[in-house]
Amino acid sequence: MKIPLEDFPNDIIGKAQRGLKLPDETNPAKLGLSAAALQALEAKAWYPNDPGTIAGLACFNTPFQDMTVNSYVVFDPVSKEAAAFDTGADCSGMLQLGVKIQQIFLTHIHTDHVMELDLLKEKTGAKAYVSEREPLDGAEPFADGRTFQIGSLKVETRRTSGHAKGGVTYVVTGLAKRLAIVGDAVFAGSMGGGAVSYAEALRTNKESILTLPDDTVICPGHGPLTTVGEEKLHNPFFAK
């Protein structure tokens, strides 16, 4: 079953209005939004292409209140060494994969993304990591730019704050496709609400995510998988 897009056009316009403090403005150009991309979403004329199965990536979509939230496990297909990225609202699927989860990487600490952290740590013995900009009990803080390994896979950390103070994007290389696990920084056709700073969210998304190669698979906290190239063309916040 296809995961629906996280936001409708009115959600996107509302985020821009709040971020720019222009509550009555509806002109996309004045809100810095692509009118064409908004129209395509309104007409249901765009949905991101399915990147297909990627060996070493497992995706989980679990219900949380009136929405769903995504979490991921990335593993070295040879050694089966693995890491979880966020926990979602139910980590039971992660525990059934038959891989060795040794690390838990948090994109940010909003409840829906860390709800099962204590349980996942208990069941796996894995160590959790979180940005030092947003400490959390039970997770080791790290500085921007730190790198990690998952077996032979490399994990690069990039700052994507603005939606959350400690927002982190994890760029994983070594699988058939480069992954960017972005939390709520970017969604297919939208982005996080910029609750901390809308301007910062736009800037760090452009600097840390949109500069990645176009074929990079974006694994968001809500909604379907997408790619950097798709978002450059179809995301109202970034499309020209």
Q: Per residue of the chain (240 residues), what is the pLDDT tens digit? A: 799 999 999 999 999 999 999 999 999 999 999 999 999 999 999 999 999 999 999 999 999 999 999 999 999 999 999 999 999 999 999 999 999 999 999 999 999 999 999 999 999 999 999 999 999 999 999 999 999 999 999 999 999 999 999 999 999 999 999 999 999 999 999 999 988 999 999 999 999 999 999 999 999 999 999 999 999 999 999 998
Q: Is residue 142 part of a domain?
A: yes
Q: Is residue 67 part of a domain?
A: yes
Read off the DSSP letter of residue 49: P
| Biggest alpha carbon–alpha carbon distance for the chain | 55
Q: Is residue 50 part of a domain?
A: no
Q: Is residue 2 part of a domain?
A: no
Q: Is residue 49 part of a domain?
A: no
- Looking at residue 117, its amino acid is L
Q: Is residue 1 part of a domain?
A: no
pLDDT at 144: 96
For the domain that residue 65 is a member of, what is the CATH number? 3.60.15.10
Read off the DSSP letter of residue 125: -
pLDDT at 240: 86
Q: Is residue 83 part of a domain?
A: yes
Going by C-alpha positions, the residue among 151, 76, 153, 71 that lies closest to residue 108 is 71
Count: domains in the chain: 1
pLDDT at 104: 98
Q: Is residue 3 part of a domain?
A: no
For strand 81-85 and strand 100-105, is the pairing parallel, antiparallel, or unpaired? parallel
The domain in which residue 35 lies consists of 9-43+56-234
pTM, 2 dp: 0.98
Read off the DSSP letter of residue 2: P
